[in-house]
Structures are given as structure tokens and as C-alpha cells.
Amino acid sequence: MLRKQLGNTNIQAPPIIFGGNVFGWTLSEDESFKMLDELLEKGYNMIDTADVYSRWAENVEAGTSERIIGKWMKDRGVRNKIIIATKGGSSMQQGGPKNTTKDYLLKAAEDSLKRLQTDYIDLYFTHYDDGNTPVEQTLEAYQELINTGKIGHIGASNFSHLRLQESLDMAKEKELPKYEVYQPEYNLMARENFESWGRRFCRENNLGVTPYFALASGFLTGKYRKNSDFEGKDRKMFAEKYLNERGRKVLTALDKISEKHEVSQAAVALGWLMQRPGVTAPIASATKSSHLDAFEDAVNLNLSGEEMDRLLRASEY
């Protein structure tokens, strides 16, 4: 399997990173263990999670995703085979305030280490910028964590152009750790933010790019065509907004291209993202073994220039 270097880090990621938000949310612990076993067997050995994941699930505590991953790694004895990315800075309470102060992040990282049952995290993201904490203070927390070997590299998610630039400038000026990976929301239904400034910025600063919601919370699988398709589904709150004229144009284009290549719509959507300039490795989730077929198909798919353009036209914003 072709590996992708994330920015200037020593991390060699698989072409698709698995999104751990499903662990404890749409997958039970037993189901999560089976999925993790299969992912490792197939070579998808990088998991992206966060301290808050599972927070939105009914009667499930924040941190459950990390706990499940940690329990699985210990049970299987595979920590040295897995690349772990997790995040801090968001509130562990639904709707709570973001916090990127030094004290908060130091504790958040320690709590993640305990849940993951490991003594190091390969890649640690600032999940959200709180907009108030001096970026120097945030980077000082990471300096301490890196110096003690508790995290290997740092990344930023959901940052504005201004604050990300400020962070890189401060890292250079004060010789503090530099964000090496950027994690934006980017897919066929969410293009504008990354394409307006993120792609060029990441190229200029050699940042690895790992887009989340690669399948637009499941919308790009083609399973959701009308409002009633979302009834009783956990992803309704994330994906229902795409049921509009633009969304239907995208699904029509995916239908035609997937039929031609005899693969799923999800494989085409992932393949499009993997072939987009500036993208290192997208993040995608699955809840069934059969869903992983889309990963394999996407990795082996070579969309033509005309097909890439067709999807660009359909998803114009």
C-alpha cells in the first residue's frame, strides 16, 4: 500500500485515514474491535480520533472513542503498529466553551493518554482555536509535551487563515513547535473554505492535509436521497443540509461515474478527494466490513480529467 508522508513529520500514513468518531457512537465496543481488527489487517493503520468523540451520542460519555481504541490496542498488543492522531481544545461537554490555554491542553493530553492506554500520541491536533488564548501559550504546551515524549507532532484543525498564520509565525519567532498538519472539512459538498485559502497556504508551508468528513457525513455514499431516508439515522444532524439542488447534481454525477467504473459512489467521492491538489490523505469512516470495499476501490481508482471536471462542475459553489 502506498504511504503518504504528512508534511515534515516522520509519519507515513495510509492513503485513507480511518475516522474514529464511529467508535462508541454508531459502532458498539464489540463492533469497533472487529472493525479495528479488519483495518489493521488491510493496512489502514492510522486512526484519527478526539477526546470529545462520542459526546453527541445518547447516553455515551465523551472520550469513549479513545477508550475503545486504547482497550483494543492493549488487548491486541498492537500499539507499535498503529498511528494515533487525537485532538484537544474542544469542550468535553456538548456546547461548552473551547479552550486552548496551556493548562487545559496539558491536562487534556494527559487524559487522552490514559484513555488510549499509551505513553505517547503520534499526532496531536488543536481541535478548535478558542480565538482568545495567545498562540504562544498553546504552542508552549506542545513544547512541554514534545520534550517529555508524550506527543510526536502537532496539527491544527478548523483554524482560520489568520490564526494559523499567526501560529506558524510565532513558532518560527520563538523556536516553538510548528503545526505540521492541517485538518479542514473538505469534500464535494464543502469546498469553498479549503479551496479559497487553505490549499495554497498548506503548499507554501509544507503542511500535510488530512480532510475530515470526506464523505460529507455519509451523504456522498448515495444512501440519502430524500428527507425520509434520514429518519432514525444518527447522521441526520450532519448530512440532511445537503439535500438540495446542488446535492442532487453531485449525486447524479457520482451515480454516472460509479456505474462506469463499477464501484460505489463512496469510492468515487473518496477517489476525487484523493486526486485533488494539496490533499495528503482524507479521513473516512465505515460501520460495516463491506464499507471498506470503497476504501480499496478508491485507492485503485484513477478518475480521468473529464470525470474530475464533471464532479467539479456538479459541486460548484
Q: Which residues are catalytic?
A: 53
CA distance 62 to 67: 10
Q: Quick one: CA torsion of 196, 235, 293, 74, rounded to 10 degrees? A: 100
CA distance 137 to 4: 31
DSSP 3-state assignment of 307?
A: helix
Residue 60 one-letter amino acid: V
Residue 184 one-letter amino acid: P
Cα distances (angstroms) measured from residue 108 to each of 57, 105, 200, 217? 20, 5, 31, 26
Cell 473538505, residue located: 186
Name the burial class of residue 301, with classes exposed (0-12), middle (13-18) and buried (19+) by CB atoms within 10 angstroms of its CB: buried
Residue 92 one-letter amino acid: M
Cα distances (angstroms) measured from residue 83 to each of 55, 118, 121, 260? 23, 12, 8, 35
Nearest to 250 by CA among 160, 164, 180, 190: 190
Residue 190 one-letter amino acid: A
Nearest to 275 by CA among 301, 249, 310, 314: 301
CA distance 36 to 23: 10
Cell 487553505, residue located: 198
